[in-house]
């Protein structure tokens, strides 16, 4: 992709056409929430205007059409990540998806699910392994699982740049490890984990692998069968789709054995006053009213990404990430966390400006029309390890161009002078 390609794509996104504080919007917060192209907005609106109805129930025409659209969306998303439709569960977001898995383990550990669920049982003496770099969504559910089952939670410590290696993981995984959960791509450092090596280490001791794919599924080709992970989660709103929908992938056979997290309508086969039998996956995890229009819109987002090409998107963003890191590293008083310039990373960078709080940096950038994320990015342990309370993060996507990266770098170059921490305050 070239800058001209990115600018041409930008026209498809209505929100990106506006000005902020009198300046053209440079949206560098796609790592939090990506914007939606017109065709995705139209797909959801069109469904709601012509087809909207409850799925998997009712015999009328709209119910049948709605169900067909809903399941077609599942097929589309499954193909996108190298899975089959019966391995894709709709959730409300990626956090919900990871909680579904963790609480499924907890239910199995309480005896639910019978002998089929025994491989999910954890208890005293067993180990759950995460990394120090995890988003809270892939940390707190495992802390809860450890607390409720008596298992031990161990973590892979990160190095001074916030990264880790397969050898670091190998030093923590043992014969007692039952779960290894980690992010494919760090939402703070842009570090790309060595998935193949970690999966091999986990499977060698019989542990199950849970992959946080929130920062990989929208930005690079993803084949979950080829990666051989057992579970994976990602969100629609980070990949040009709507909020309110996430995706859980579970390897065939595992989902049917995992005890459900939520129970109620839509996920049962038989109910009596004495008990209930649950449907096979994926329906066994989709209790209640499903996110139907959101699934339809997410499928359209997937088709948009496929039309552009995930290889092109990845290469474009990695080039932008290198430009971003090298430019920021050259600024006095600015420290970029994560892999240094010249080392592969995703198209995002978090940085600290000496003497200026990240929230002040973010407001300064907003004043010149640049939207960036500030805070701990739901990764407090990682920031604590790096000796920081917060950072400013710029994240790119397929509609980001080099001139927006250059605008950010130029703006950051004036932050310390504006706040008077380099000897010159600006009124």
Q: 20: domain CATH number?
A: 3.90.1150.10
Same domain, 203 and 223: yes
Q: Is 132:169 a contact under the CB 8 Å cutoff?
A: no
Cα distances from 416 to residues 103, 323, 327, 334, in angstroms, run 46, 21, 16, 9
Q: What is residue 427's predicted lDDT score, i.e. its pLDDT? A: 35
155 vs 201: CA distance, rounded Å: 15
Same domain, 352 and 281: no
Q: Model confidence at 342, in pLDDT bands (50, 70, 90)?
A: confident
- What is the H or E stretch that residue 142 is in? helix 140-149
Q: What is residue 425's predicted lDDT score, i.e. its pLDDT? A: 43
Same domain, 413 and 301: no
Helices (H), 267-348: 292-308, 310-329
Same domain, 127 and 19: no
The alpha carbon of residue 125 and the mean position of all alpha carbons in its chain are separated, in whole angstroms, by 30
Tokens in use for 149? Answer: 């089952």
For the stretch 211-252, pLDDT in tens is 999 999 999 999 999 999 999 999 999 999 999 999 999 999
Q: What is residue 23's predicted lDDT score, i.e. its pLDDT? A: 97
Single out the residue in 306, 339, 373 at which a domain terminates: 306
Residue position matching structure tokens 């709605």: 66
Tokens in use for 334? Answer: 């600015």
On the question of pLDDT at 98 being above 60, the answer is: yes
The CA angle 173-174-179, to the nearest 5 degrees, is: 60
- Report the 3 state secondary structure along 334-396: EEEECCCCCCCCCCEEEEEECCECHHHHHHHHHHCCEECEEECCCCHHHHHHCCCCCEEEEEC
Active-site amino acid positions: 378
On the question of pLDDT at 149 being above 70, the answer is: yes
Q: 266: domain CATH number?
A: 3.40.640.10
Q: Is 58:52 a contact under the CB 8 Å cutoff?
A: no
Which domain range does residue 328 map to?
3-30+309-418
* Residue 210 lies inside a defined structural domain of this protein: yes
Same domain, 134 and 251: yes
Single out the residue in 266, 281, 306 at which a domain terminates: 306
For the stretch 356-378, pLDDT in tens is 999 999 999 999 999 999 999 99
* Residue 151 lies inside a defined structural domain of this protein: yes
On the question of pLDDT at 130 being above 80, the answer is: yes
Q: What is residue 424's predicted lDDT score, i.e. its pLDDT? A: 47
Beta bridge partners of 185: 192
Same domain, 96 and 237: yes
Comparing C-alpha atoms, which of 337, 342, 327, 314 is closest to residue 391?
337
The pTM of the full predicted model, rounded to 2 decimals, is 0.96
352 vs 162: CA distance, rounded Å: 14
- The C-alpha torsion from 130 through 255 and 238 to 291, rounded to 10°, is -140
Q: Domain total for the chain?
A: 2
Comparing C-alpha atoms, which of 229, 196, 197 is closest to residue 212?
229
* Residue 215 lies inside a defined structural domain of this protein: yes
Q: What is residue 423's predicted lDDT score, i.e. its pLDDT? A: 56
- What is the H or E stretch that residue 130 is in? strand 127-131
- Rounded to 10 deg, the angle between the 310-329 and 3-10 helix axes is 110
């Amino acid at each position: 992709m070239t800058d001209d390609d990115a600018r041409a794509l930008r026209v498809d996104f209505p929100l990106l056409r506006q000005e902020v504080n009198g300046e053209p919007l440079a949206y560098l917060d796609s790592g939090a929430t990506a914007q939606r192209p017109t065709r995705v907005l139209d797909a959801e609106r069109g469904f709601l205007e012509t087809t909207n109805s409850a799925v998997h129930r009712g015999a009328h025409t709209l119910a049948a059409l709605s169900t067909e659209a809903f399941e077609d969306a599942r097929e589309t998303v499954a193909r996108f990540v190298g899975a089959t439709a019966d391995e894709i569960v709709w959730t409300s977001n990626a956090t919900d998806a990871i909680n579904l898995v963790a609480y499924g383990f907890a239910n199995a550990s309480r005896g639910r699910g019978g002998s089929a669920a025994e491989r999910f049982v954890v208890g005293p003496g067993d180990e759950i392994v995460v990394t120090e770099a995890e988003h809270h969504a892939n940390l707190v559910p495992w802390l809860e699982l450890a607390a409720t089952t008596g298992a031990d939670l161990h973590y892979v410590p990160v190095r001074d740049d916030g990264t880790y290696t397969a050898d670091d993981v190998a030093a923590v995984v043992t014969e007692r490890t039952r779960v290894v959960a980690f992010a494919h791509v760090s939402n703070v450092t842009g570090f790309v984990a060595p998935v193949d090596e970690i999966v091999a280490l986990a499977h060698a001791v019989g542990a199950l692998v849970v992959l946080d794919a929130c920062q990989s599924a929208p930005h690079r080709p993803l084949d979950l069968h080829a990666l051989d992970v057992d579970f994976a989660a990602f969100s629609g709103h980070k990949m040009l789709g709507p909020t309110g929908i996430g995706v859980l992938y579970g390897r065939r056979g595992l989902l049917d054995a995992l005890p459900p997290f939520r129970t109620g309508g839509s996920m049962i086969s038989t109910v009596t006053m004495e008990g209930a039998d649950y449907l096979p996956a994926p329906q066994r995890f989709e209790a209640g009213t499903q996110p139907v229009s959101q699934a339809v819109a997410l499928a359209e987002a997937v088709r948009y990404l496929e039309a552009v090409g995930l290889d092109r998107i990845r290469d474009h963003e990695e080039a932008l990430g290198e430009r971003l890191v090298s430019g920021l590293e050259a600024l006095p008083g600015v420290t970029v966390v994560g892999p240094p310039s010249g080392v592969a990373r995703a198209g995002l960078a978090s940085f600290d400006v000496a003497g200026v709080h990240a929230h002040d940096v973010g407001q300064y950038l907003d004043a010149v029309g640049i939207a960036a994320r500030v805070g701990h990015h739901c990764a407090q342990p990682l920031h604590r390890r790096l000796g920081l309370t917060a950072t400013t993060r710029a994240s790119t996507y397929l509609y980001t161009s080099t001139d927006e990266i250059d605008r950010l770098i130029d703006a950051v170059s004036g932050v310390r002078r504006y706040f008077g921490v380099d000897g010159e305050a600006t009124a």
